[in-house]
Chain A
Amino acid sequence: MSQPKSKWTPGLIGRTAAAWFIALLLFFPLIFMGVTAFKTELQAIAVPSLWIFEPTLENFEIVNERSDYAQFAWNSVVTSVLSTALGLLIAAPAAYSMAFSPTKGTNGLLLWMLSTKFMPAVGALLPIYVIFQTLNLLDTKTALVIIFTMMNLPIMVWMLYTYFKDIPQEILEAARMDGASVWDEFKHVLLPLGIGGIASTGLLCLVLAWNEAFWALNLGAAEAGTLATMMVSYSSPEGLFWSKLSAASLMAIAPIVVLGWFSQKQLVQGLTFGAVK
């Protein structure tokens, strides 16, 4: 944008103030949580809220001891990373196929895939529960990886498809003329040109899997519980202990929020599902 440096017109001042006000207002609950995590319990529930105090790290230690944070965090990392990787492995070839060898049925197929997302999770809970029980997979990371993969697969295919479709067909045709195999095409054309799309897709699914609560709560429980499950144990009566709740919350969301911050541009591009060119 090569527009001249804007002067502080009343309009600009008004817009700046309004935008900052709204942003801080929406962000405020997280600021409050972040600050509370470093308070003692007594300081935490002081009315009016304290903003100047001597920070303490004891809440983090207590949370770590009591809920075995490392175990939950490890489960979150494993299930979200593996389900994303597995999902990409299944979705990328499908998206590639639909983008570069479209048939009459491609549009219908895409809509059908998306429609599986309309099947409410509760609708599948009981059968899945029974199946996993029979297979002895209840409360295992394997179960969560399978579920998270399936849960995100339609979105992955859809996102990758919109990205791949933007790659000029001619480039692939040229590669085919030169006798490139499918694998060559993938490695030398699709991967370099579509890496942005693959990254956005992966990031989104990582976030969705990390934050997933329904399946994690109902299938996860003790051994395979993710951070979303850990948080439920702080519901009540521990919820009354604000500093510990805040410390646990901060530890649960920090990794994914920071990842989201660093990749927000990439992520948002992907989320538009091809609605923005």
Chain B
Amino acid sequence: MSSQTQSSRFIPRLLLSPAVITLLIWMIVPLALTIYFSSIFYNLMQPDVTGFAGWMNYEFMITNPAFSEAIWNTLVLLAATVAITVIGGLGIALLINEAFPGRGIVRLLLISPFFVMPTVNALLWKHMMMNPIYGVLAQVWTFFGLTPINWLQDLPLFSIIIMISWQWLPFACLILMTSLQSMDREQLEAAEMDGANYWQKFRYMYLPHLARPISVVIMIEVIFLLSVFAEIFTTTAGGPGTQSTNLAYLIFNEALQAFDIGVASAGAVFAIILANIVAIFLIRIIGKNLEK
């Protein structure tokens, strides 16, 4: 019998090992190298300057005025997009929860932006929607007698938030909608019999039911939105100035445009720390909901 239990422990571990080992390598090797790079002088433009840099790279990164702005932009981008998509998605999900003519097609239309790759999303909005002269939004503004907005120039970060929200709203909406479909209809009807109004039903029945899917939506979005890159790269290139530079883009800039691997790696360490702070914060808050 003991050989039985041994093999019954051995096989699950064996099956688990490829995933664990590859992920471990994927995590540790880049992390170790990033930390190492961040502690040495490593600038491709100054190959003769080498050696241990101590905290120099970190100091250089922190004293860069763009740094604190990049962290701020990263967090604003994240918070705004999550808020827009969760609230908007919830509203739309509640709206299309009951049957109506053409619901299937409406679902299809709603989910489509989620499949659009970030580079296409960015170019589509930059050139065709937000162009201040020919763009669709400019036409709408002119139609209502308003002065068209030069989106990417005057509201760069907000413009990027619009693009990203456009992509992730369908995601939030469909997850929440799928979850609403699984609600107990009889309970809802009973509540209606008892004279519950829409707000009461929302507060005491829909919202508790949606707590878990909302947590999932937030978690997935945070993972993807902390490192938004393509949308910024293809539209504003972080500008004007550094107004739409997030941490990911700042590091990219430092590495591939200033060729300073050392400083960029120091930035990357900050990005990892920031991600972990957000992750801990997140798991604290929504972990409860996920474990149920």
Contacts and interface: CB of A to CB of B under 8 A. Distances in A.
Asked if A and B bind, the verdict is yes
Given A120-B226, A231-B119, A115 B268 contact: no
Contacts of B105: 23
Interface stretch (B45-53, B54-62, B199-207, B228-236): B228-236
Contact of B275 (A3, A32, A118, A150): A118
Contacts of A130: 33
A257 B126 CA distance: 21
B197 interface: no
B37 interface: yes
A123 B271 contact: yes
A33 B124 contact: yes
Contacts, number: 283
Given A94-B19, A121-B229, A127-B29, A29 B128 contact: yes
Interface residues on A, range: 35 or more
Contacts of A63: none
Interface in A1-43: 1, 3, 6, 12, 15-16, 18-20, 22-24, 26-30, 32-33, 36
B272 interface: yes
Contacts of A252: 117, 119-120
Nearest to A113: B23
B247 A36 contact: no
B20 interface: yes
Given A118-B279, A126-B261, A101 B8 contact: yes
A129 to B, nearest CB: 8
A228 B106 contact: no
B118 A122 contact: no
30 contacts: A19-B100, A27-B113, A29-B166, A36-B128, A90-B19, A109-B20, A116-B26, A118-B223, A119-B27, A119-B30, A119-B275, A120-B271, A123-B271, A124-B30, A126-B261, A127-B29, A150-B22, A153-B19, A153-B23, A207-B115, A210-B117, A214-B229, A231-B234, A240-B127, A260-B111, A264-B111, A272-B179, A272-B213, A276-B179, A277-B182
Interface of B: 8-9, 11-13, 15-16, 18-20, 22-23, 26-27, 29-31, 33-34, 37, 92, 95-96, 98-103, 105-120, 123-129, 133-134, 136, 139, 166, 169-171, 174-175, 178-179, 182, 212-213, 215-216, 220, 223, 226-227, 229-230, 233-234, 247-248, 251-252, 255-256, 261, 264-265, 267-269, 271-272, 275-276, 278-279, 283, 290-291
Interface of A: 1, 3, 6, 12, 15-16, 18-20, 22-24, 26-30, 32-33, 36, 45, 47-49, 90-91, 93-94, 96-98, 100-101, 107, 109, 111, 113, 115-128, 130-131, 150, 153-154, 157, 182, 207, 210-211, 213-214, 217-218, 227-229, 231-232, 234-235, 239-240, 242, 245-246, 249, 252-253, 256-257, 259-261, 264, 268-269, 271-273, 275-277
